[in-house]
Amino acid sequence: MNILFMCVANSARSQLAEGLARSMFGKKASFYSAGSQPSKVNPLAIKVLEEISIDITGHSSKSVEDIPQKEFDYVITLCAEEVCPVFLGKTTKLHWPFQDPAGETNPELAEIKFRRTRDLIKEKIESEMPKLLTL
């Protein structure tokens, strides 16, 4: 099974989701992430996952064209307030909206928002992924 997480910049939410899902369910599926306007992996995404022993230091921000061309069983968009990327391939599309923590300019608040977003995405993956992997 192949699952793709998408957000606009592929710098925060989709990177968090890919790292979390791979850590929790990597033996049951292959997980990828991409964005419609890729930038770079946000250092705070790396930091908050390191805090829970998940290493994404080797990840890079990528567009759909940059990831292996596979048939995806699910494409999950994570945008809340922005226009989500569109995936044109044949797949089951799901939308899990999360606010983008990368927009916070205060460094202390940014860390808090990244941790909160990490924890919310983790809860969603824990509750929903087992259902997706058994279908």
Q: Check whether 119 has a pLDDT greater than 90.
A: yes
Look up residue 41 and give its two tokens.
């992996």
**Beta-strand (E) ranges in the chain?**
2-7, 30-35, 74-77, 92-95
What confidence tier does 60 reach under pLDDT thresholds 50, 70, 90? very high
What is the structure's pLDDT at 35?
Answer: 93
Beta-bridge partners for 4:
32, 75
Say yes or no to pLDDT of 135 above 70. no
The pTM score is 0.95
Q: What is the pLDDT of residues 71-105, one digit of tens each?
A: 999 999 999 877 777 787 889 999 999 999 998 99
At 86 the pLDDT is: 78
3-class DSSP assignment, residue 100 = coil
- Residue 108: its pLDDT value, please? 95
Q: Mean per-residue pLDDT for 28-39?
A: 94
Integer Cα distance of 12 and 100 in angstroms: 7
Whether 28 shows a pLDDT value over 80: the answer reads: yes
First-to-last CA distance in the chain? 10
Identify the weakest region by mean pLDDT among 31-40, 88-97, 116-125. Answer: 88-97
Question: Mind telling me the catalytic residues?
Answer: 7, 79, 84
